[in-house]
Every structure is written in structure tokens, then in C-alpha cells.
A and B are shown apart, each in its own frame.
Chain A
Amino acid sequence: MIGKQFVKGNEAVAMAAIKAGVRCYFGYPITPQSDIPEYLSRELPRNGGTFIQAESEIGAINMVLGASAAGLRAMTSSSGPGISLKQEGISYMAGSELPGVIVDIMRQGPGLGGIDASQADYYQATRGGGHGGYRIIVLAPGSVQEMYDLTMLAFDLSDLYRIPAMVLADSVLGQMKESITPNRRPVCALPPKDWAVRGWAEGSPQNVVKSLKLGDGEMEKFHWEMHARYQLLADRESRWEEYRTDDARLIVTAFGSTARISRTAVETARAAGMKVGLLRPITLVPFPKKIYADLSRRCKLFLDIELSTGQMIDDVRLSVERDTEVAFYGRPPGAGSLPTPEEIFEQIGKVYP
């Protein structure tokens, strides 16, 4: 029996990483995610792993690249300014088909911004972030339990598809304490990492981990292959949570911490006799397009809630049936800008069809 534990979201990430068999963590301090390196600096060496506080986020992501190229599970974590610095390495990892987990505990920006919760790095996370035209897997937990579960899943999906995976949360989820069940790692059949560098022994092929593709048509082929892999990912791995969508006329949609707040607002609306539901995407890449399309045939209206001026709404609009209306309520990130359930309930009232 695995007992319940009362932990912070960031700690849940770190605990799950160890459970998932992470062997190397490389990071650089930044609020609001420093509990992750702090926890792992203590626990990873005890569990036979390596912890390095790197010289910068650039150093850290490239250490992840190296350890992953060598076939081990490796991760890093950061927030806005640091995630920006990691984009170079993430692009190289994507180009080299290297797995690896990046945890992004979003804070306000642009620039130094501030440490309050934000969802304004949705574009940065879901559009690839670096150069070259690639996607990474993006998982958006909505509770401390999911911080734990999705961190484990990130390692498996990343290894399975050979695409870097990001756990995208914010300072509310990172700092919040909840009671969780530290589940065992789900069984996932993974292919051997026969592409990893380990020394070119006699009789085996030379392994080269690289993104350079100069051959005639080589890069074009790579892009089409990745395109097909992203499609496969969408078909197989899209995840979401629905709450009372069955008969809903209005469906609130939000991810991460705003989805939690929205859920309370949906409950209030239901208590007031309004037919309101909630759709929470758990995978942002792949975005669960199909469920949006399906539900848009049944409901009248979506109300998208974000802690930004609206980014995920692009994906919502692209996913719903053409004539479905999508209303929006957002608060740009900043101190005091986290919306209350009452505020969202009020918005529901305003647009309820």
C-alpha cells in the first residue's frame, strides 16, 4: 500500500521524476520552481542519480541533451526567463529526436516579469519555442496529484515518441500543497534506446546523435516523418477531462489552475440551474481537438478562460465546428490578477445562451 502524502506541487514533480527513473537532473535556480532542484539535490544522489546545478539554463538543457543522448532519463526545470534560454537546446533535442523532460512552472512576463502565476507561455510551450518548426509534448496538470502523474507520463511519452516533453504548470500549482497518492509508474512498453551513444563496439552500428541533415531531401523527409509522428501522438495520446458536459449549453474551457477555479464557478452555475460544463485539456500538445469538435456539435457556446489575453483560444477556435461561438474571459498575469470563481461565474452569466 502506498500511503497518501501532503506535498507541494513542485515536490510532487520531483518525487515523480525519481519514481519514473530519472538518472540525471540539471537545473538553475529560479522562482517559483526552486523546490524541484532543492528536492532533487537532496534525493537524487541518494537514489543513485546525478544532480548538477548548472552554470545557466543553457548549460542545464545541454547537459540534459548529453545525458539523454547517452540513453538515460534526464530532466530540467525552470520558469519563463530560464525556459527562454533553454529553447536553443530544446530545438537541438527535437532535431536530434532526443527524449527529455522539461518542467515549466510559468511566471509572469515578458522579461523579468514577476513570480505570480501566468499562463502566458502557452504559445512558447505549444508552438515549439525555438527555431526550426517542431513540436514538443506539452502536459498541463490541474492538481498536485496530476503534477505527480503527468511528470511520470512525460518521461514515458517522451521516450516512446522520441520527442522532448514539457510539464506546463504555474506558480499556483507549484506552490500549492495537496494530499496525493504517489502511484506506481504505469506499465508502458518502451523500445530499447539502441540509438544512444555508448561507444562504438565491433559489430554494432555507429551511433550519431545529431540534428544536422545536409543530404539531398534528408531534412524534408525528417520533417514529414515528424509530422506523421505528431499526428500519431494526437490520435493516441490526446487527454482531457470533462465535467458535466453531457447536457451543457455552455462549456467553460480552461487548463491548469484556471480550470480549477472554473470548476467551482461551473458548480455554482449548476446550483443556479444553468446547464454549464467544463472541458479541461490535459495534453496541450497534442491538443484534444476531437473532443472540442464533438462537444461543439452539442453545446451552444464555449467560454475560454485564461490567465493571459488569450492564447489557447486559438486552438479552441481551430478545433470547434466552424459556426460555434467561443467567448473569452482572460486576466493577463500579474499580482492580484488570478480570477475568483465568483468572477468567472459572473462571466458565465453574461454569455449564457
Chain B
Amino acid sequence: MKQVFGRSPSLKDVQTHFCPGCHHGAVHRLVAEAMDEFAIRDRTIGCASVGCSVFLYGYFNIDVVESPHGRAPAVATGVKRARPDNIVFTYQGDGDLAAIGMSEIIHAANRGEDITVIFVNNTTYGMTGGQMAPTTMPGQKTSTSPYGRDINNDGAPFKMAELLSNLDGVAFSARVAVNNPRNVLAAKKLVKTAFRYQVEGRGFSFIEALAACPTNWGMQPLAANERVGSEMIPYFPLGVYKNTDNL
């Protein structure tokens, strides 16, 4: 019998600390499969960020550098410039990348650093207990927006995949979701594309993955998964925002 589904060899055989229904695990898997696809696991270096994904080294069979909160794109710049033959990616949450680390991500992207950035947008600060993030949606209640995000007070959510696609240094930018099998399949393809760009030395590639955080949304896993489709995707449309394949 042919095995059609198994653990990716780029992933460790361990239980994760993620809450039930959390989408971080699914995104980890897509990243691992991309490494498998190009057989680059043994030359990939991950730059972990500060957030629920801080334990990258515990889940992937790769070398990992920890970065201060928001600084992973700068750390990855240092790693990649030091070791241009390695594949280097960052894995960052929305608070990490789009609030405290906005400067680092914009400039790494604008320099066209030959790295891949995996950006997990769950519209909240997961690790610190569900505070408002730069991607929290208008009206969304969080522990620091108890009346709902007021865009007159807090500004509108950042749409990072669109924003970065405007920079000349960006070679590939796409937004994906993992809330249903169809989206997972599309996401799998695009995450692979993002890594392919780096394997081919094509410059900065960016994946924004919409993700559920049931715990901090105060929802059951299924309802949280629902919300990704019903609220997030209409506001943060999926798709490829920049693609330089035909250039």
C-alpha cells in the first residue's frame, strides 16, 4: 500500500505546544514540505521571532537563530549575507512583523534580501494573551480594544502582502489561508513558490498566512476556523500580489 500522508522529514516527531485549532501547526507543515520538495532541509536556517512560533527549533529539523521581537528580517539579513549559499527564512507573527518590526521588514524587503518571510496573521498578539495587533480588524474586540478596534483611534489594519508588493525589492508576495482543504492546497503551492524563488536566487519572497487563534479570539476551534473564511478572507483577500516569474 502506498503511503499518501506522513510526517514531513523536515519536522520533528514531537507534540507541539499550539492550542487546539491553532493554524501555526498547519503553516509549519507547509514550510516543512517546501523544504522537502527542494531537498534543502540540511542547508536551511530558520530565524525565529518572538510570539507563539518562538519554538521553531523544537519543531523543525533545521538550524535556528532566535531574533529579538520584530528583528528577524535584520537577523536573516545578517545570516544570508554571511552564508549566501544557505536558504534563510523568517517566521513571524503579525505583532512581531507589522508593529515592532515594521522597519526591519520594510527595509529587508526593499533591499531585496534573498530570504523568504513567512508571516502569520492571526489578527492578535497570541503569545501575550490576545491584545490588539496591527492587523486586528475594524470592530474586533481584543483585550486592549475592549470596545472593538476603532480605526479613527487605532488606524486601519495593515495589509502586508499588498503593501510589500509595491516595493521594487520584492520578487514574490502572496496571501494564503489554511482554513479548508482547497486553501491548504493553494497555500502549499504558494509556499513552495516562495522558497523556489530563494532557491533560484530571485530575491525577497513573502507569504502572508491568515490564521486562527481560537484561544485569544475566545472561540471554539471550528468557529475560529469559520471566522477565517467569513471575516478575514473578505478583508484580506487571498492571492498572489506580486510575481516576477515572467520578468
Q: Is the CB of B77 within 8 A of A199?
A: no
A56 to B111, CA, bound (A): 14
Count residues on chain A whose CB falls below 8 Å from chain B CBs.
40
As a 0/1 sequence over residues 181 to 212 of chain A, the CB contacts with chain B under 8 angstroms (1 = contact) are 00000000000000001111110001111111
Which of B42, B61, B76, B107 touches A66 (beta carbons < 8 Å)?
B76
User: Is A74 in contact with B42, judged by CB distance below 8 angstroms?
Assistant: no
Quick check: A63 and B78 within 8 Å, CB to CB? yes
Closest CB in chain A relative to B47 CB, distance in Å? 7
The answer to whether A68 and B78 have CB atoms under 8 Å apart is: yes
Q: How far is the CA of A67 from the CA of B42 in the complex (A)?
A: 19
B78 touches A197 (CB 8 A): no
B63, A89: Cβ atoms closer than 8 Å:
no
The answer to whether A70 touches B66, judged by C-beta atoms less than 8 angstroms apart, is: no
Chain A nearest Cβ from B41, distance in angstroms: 7
- Which stretch in B81-89, B140-148, B158-166 binds the other chain? B81-89
Which residues does chain B contribute within 8 Å of A38, judged by CB atoms? none
Contact of B57 among A60, A72, A210 (CB under 8 A): A210
Q: By CB atoms of chain A within 10 A, which of B54, B66, B79 has the most?
A: B79
B79 touches A200 (CB 8 A): no
Instruction: Look across to chain A and name the residue whose beta carbon is closest to the beta carbon of B100.
Output: A58
Interface size class of B (residues with CB under 8 A): 20 to 34
Instruction: Report how far A211 CA is from B104 CA in the complex, Å.
Output: 20
Q: Are A199 and B74 in contact (CB under 8 A)?
A: no
Indicate with 1 or 0, residue by residue over B75-107, a CB within 8 angstroms of chain A CB atoms: 111111111001000000000000000011011
Which of the candidate stretches A47-55, A107-115, A302-310 sits at the interface with the other chain?
A: A47-55
Across the interface, A200 reaches (CB within 8 A) one of B48, B62, B66, B78, namely: B62
A71 interfacial by beta-carbon distance below 8 Å: yes
Bound complex: CA A69 to CA B79 (Å): 7
Interface residues of A in 17-70 (CB under 8 A from B): 23-24, 26, 50, 52, 54-56, 58-60, 62-70
A154 to B107, CA, bound (A): 30
Q: How far is the CA of A60 from the CA of B74 in the complex (A)?
A: 7
* Pairwise interchain contact A59-B63, C-beta atoms closer than 8 A: no
Which of A52, A60, A199 has most chain B Cβ within 10 Å?
Answer: A199
- Asked if B78 and A89 sit within 8 Å, CB to CB, the answer is no
Which of A60, A96, A197 is within 8 Å of B79, CB to CB? A197
Are A59 and B82 in contact, with the CB atoms below 8 A?
no
Nearest neighbor of A95 in chain B, beta-carbon distance:
B66
Any A CB within 8 A of the CB of B8: no
B66 touches A210 (CB 8 A): yes
Interface assignment of A287: CB less than 8 Å from any CB of chain B: no
Q: Give A199 to B85 CA distance when docked, in angstroms.
A: 10
Asked whether, in the complex, the Cβ of B63 is within 8 Å of the Cβ of A208, the reply is yes
Task: Check: B43 CB closer than 8 A to any chain A CB.
Answer: yes
Chain B residues in 8 Å Cβ range of A23 = 82
Q: Check if A65 sits within 8 Å of B64, measured CB to CB.
A: no
B interface residues, Cβ below 8 angstroms from A? 41-45, 47-48, 54, 57, 61-68, 71, 74-83, 86, 103-104, 106-107, 111
Cβ-closest 7 pairs across A and B = A66-B78, A62-B74, A210-B66, A70-B82, A67-B78, A197-B63, A55-B107
Q: Given contact pairs A64-B78, A206-B61, enumerate 10 new A-B contacts (beta carbons under 8 Å).
A: A58-B104, A59-B104, A62-B71, A63-B74, A70-B78, A70-B83, A96-B66, A197-B63, A198-B86, A208-B66
